[in-house]
């Protein structure tokens, strides 16, 4: 029973880390990366679809993304969708190729993005601690119902705490990596 609780807690904690990684992808660094456009959808034949489903997105150089739509008539819609997004990007169309230059980050925007990254990391740490609380509550219920011994309960709580420490440390490491990316000029 304790192993089931621990494995459930670990899978939920892993999902919190995966969510943190996805949220970090939305925070723009000065470098061009196709995942920056993951959250943008384009109206395509009446339905909203991600840009990756209607065009090829690639990195031209360190500060420029190149988008080549599969159908020429979608190029205008892709350009409008990028401009409407809150990423602060200004695409330019040259025939059937859309180029998206990444503006250099100012000190103020870097600090704003770092604050945003720290907030995302703190949300992930809180989620991980909530999962620990739930798992420890399940273990306490097993103890109360006398389904496990006190030693097993203590051992189970130790396992859950080690998992919590591991995933909180991973969130901190991801935050440190994102901060160093943001401070890079």
What local confidence, expressed as pLDDT, does residue 128 receive? 95
**For the residues 149-164, what does the mean pLDDT come to?**
92
Say yes or no: 132 and 179 in one domain: yes
Pairing mode of beta strands 55-61, 64-69: antiparallel
14 and 62: one domain? no
CA distances from 133 to 105, 128, 137 (A): 39, 9, 6
Boundary of a domain, candidates 77, 101, 125: 101
Cβ–Cβ < 8 Å for 121, 20: yes
Q: Domain residues for 57?
A: 34-101
Q: What is the pLDDT of residues 18-37, one digit of tens each?
A: 999 988 887 777 677 787 88
Structure tokens belonging to residue 46: 């009446």
Alpha-carbon distance of 35 to 41, in angstroms, equals 13
Residue 51's pLDDT band (cuts 50, 70, 90): confident
Domain boundary among 57, 72, 101: 101
Q: Are 5 and 160 in contact (CB under 8 A)?
A: yes
- Reported as a pLDDT band with limits 50, 70 and 90, residue 138 is very high
Which CATH number fits the domain that encloses residue 147?
Answer: 1.10.132.20
Q: Which of 83, 101, 119 is where one domain is finished?
A: 101
Band of pLDDT at residue 176, cut at 50, 70 and 90 = very high
Residue-level pLDDT at 185: 60
> Quick check: 91 pLDDT over 80?
yes
pLDDT band at 11 (very low <50, low <70, confident <90, very high): very high
Same domain, 22 and 111: yes
Looking at the structure, do residues 83 and 48 belong to the same domain, yes or no? yes
pLDDT, the chain, mean: 87
Residue with tokens 């395509």, as numbered in its chain: 44
Q: What is the number of structural domains in the chain?
A: 2
Three-state DSSP at 94 gives strand
Q: What is the pLDDT of residue 166?
A: 94
Residue 160 and residue 124 share a domain:
yes
Residue 102 and residue 88: Cα distance in Å, rounded? 9
**Same domain, yes or no: 116 and 132:** yes
The predicted-structure confidence for 111-134, as pLDDT tens digits, reads as follows 888 999 999 999 999 999 999 999
Tell the residue number behind the tokens 């943008």, with chain if given.
Answer: 40
pLDDT above 90: percentage of residues in the chain: 36
Residue of 86 and 63 predicted with greater confidence: 63
22 and 50 housed in the same domain: no
């Amino acid at each position: 029973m304790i192993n089931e609780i621990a494995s459930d807690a670990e899978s939920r904690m892993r999902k919190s880390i995966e969510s943190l990684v996805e949220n970090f992808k939305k925070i723009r660094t000065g470098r061009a990366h196709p995942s920056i456009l993951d959250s943008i959808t384009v109206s395509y034949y009446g339905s909203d679809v991600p840009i990756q489903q209607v065009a090829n997105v690639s990195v031209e150089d360190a500060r420029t993304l190149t988008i080549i739509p599969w159908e020429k008539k979608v190029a205008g819609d892709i350009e409008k969708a990028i401009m409407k997004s809150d990423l602060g990007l200004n695409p330019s169309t040259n025939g059937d190729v859309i180029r998206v230059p990444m503006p250099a980050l100012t000190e103020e925007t870097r600090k704003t993005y770092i604050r945003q990254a720290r907030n995302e990391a703190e949300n992930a740490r809180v989620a991980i601690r909530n999962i620990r609380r739930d798992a420890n509550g399940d273990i306490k219920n097993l103890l109360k119902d006398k389904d496990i011994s006190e030693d097993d309960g203590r051992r189970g709580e130790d396992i859950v705490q080690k998992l919590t420490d591991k995933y909180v440390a991973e969130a901190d490491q991801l935050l440190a990596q994102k901060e160093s990316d943001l401070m890079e000029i």
